[in-house]
Amino acid sequence: MSFGIMDIIVLAIILISTIIGIKLGFIEKLFRLIRKFAAFIISFFLAKPASVFLAKNSTIDDSISSKIVSWLVEKNELFSRTISPDNQVEVVEEALTALKLPNFMTSLLKDKIVKLLPEVTAETTVGNLFSEPLTSLIMIIISFVVLFIVSIIIIQILKKLFKALAKNRIIGGIDRLLGAILGFVEGALIVIIILFGLSFVINGSFLPEASEWLIKDMKLAEGEFGIAKWLYEQHLFMKLFKLIWK
In this predicted model, what pLDDT tens digit does every residue of 11-20 receive, in sequence order? 888 888 788 7
CA distances from 114 to 53, 93, 132, 144, 241 (A): 25, 10, 12, 26, 19
* Residue 79 confidence (pLDDT): 92
pLDDT tens by residue, 87-120: 788 888 899 888 888 777 888 888 888 888 888 8
pLDDT tens by residue, 58-93: 999 999 999 999 999 998 899 998 887 777 888 888
Assign 244 a pLDDT band (cuts: 50, 70, 90).
low
* Residue 40 confidence (pLDDT): 81
**Average pLDDT value for residue range 2-18:** 80
Domain holding 204, by residue range, is 5-245
Q: 3-state class of 152 per DSSP?
A: helix
Read off the pTM.
Answer: 0.58
* Residue 34 confidence (pLDDT): 62
Cβ atoms 41, 49 nearer than 8 A: no
* Residue 142 confidence (pLDDT): 93
Assign 53 a pLDDT band (cuts: 50, 70, 90).
very high
Q: How would DSSP label each residue in 150-197?
A: HHHHHHHHHHHHHGGGGGSHHHHHHHHHHHHHHHHHHHHHHHHHHHHH
Q: 3-state class of 218 per DSSP?
A: coil
Assign 6 a pLDDT band (cuts: 50, 70, 90).
confident
Assign 27 a pLDDT band (cuts: 50, 70, 90).
low
Cβ atoms 203, 101 nearer than 8 A: yes
pLDDT tens by residue, 174-230: 777 777 887 788 788 888 888 888 888 887 766 778 888 888 888 787 777 878 888
Q: How many distinct structural domains can be found in the chain? A: 1
pLDDT tens by residue, 130-158: 999 999 989 999 999 999 999 888 877 77
User: Tell me, what DSSP letter sits at residue 82?
Assistant: B
Give long-range contacts, CB 8 A cutoff, 24+ apart: 26-29.
26/166, 26/174, 26/175, 26/176, 26/177, 26/178, 26/179, 26/182, 27/162, 27/163, 27/165, 27/166, 27/175, 27/179, 28/163, 28/166, 28/179, 29/179, 29/182, 29/183, 29/186
Q: In whole angstroms, give the CA distance from residue 157 to residue 241.
A: 28
pLDDT at 1 over 60: no
72/5: higher pLDDT: 72
Kindly compute the dihedral angle of the four CA atoms of residues 38, 39, 45, 51, in this order, to the nearest 10 degrees. Answer: -150
Q: In whole angstroms, give the CA distance from residue 242 to residue 37.
A: 18
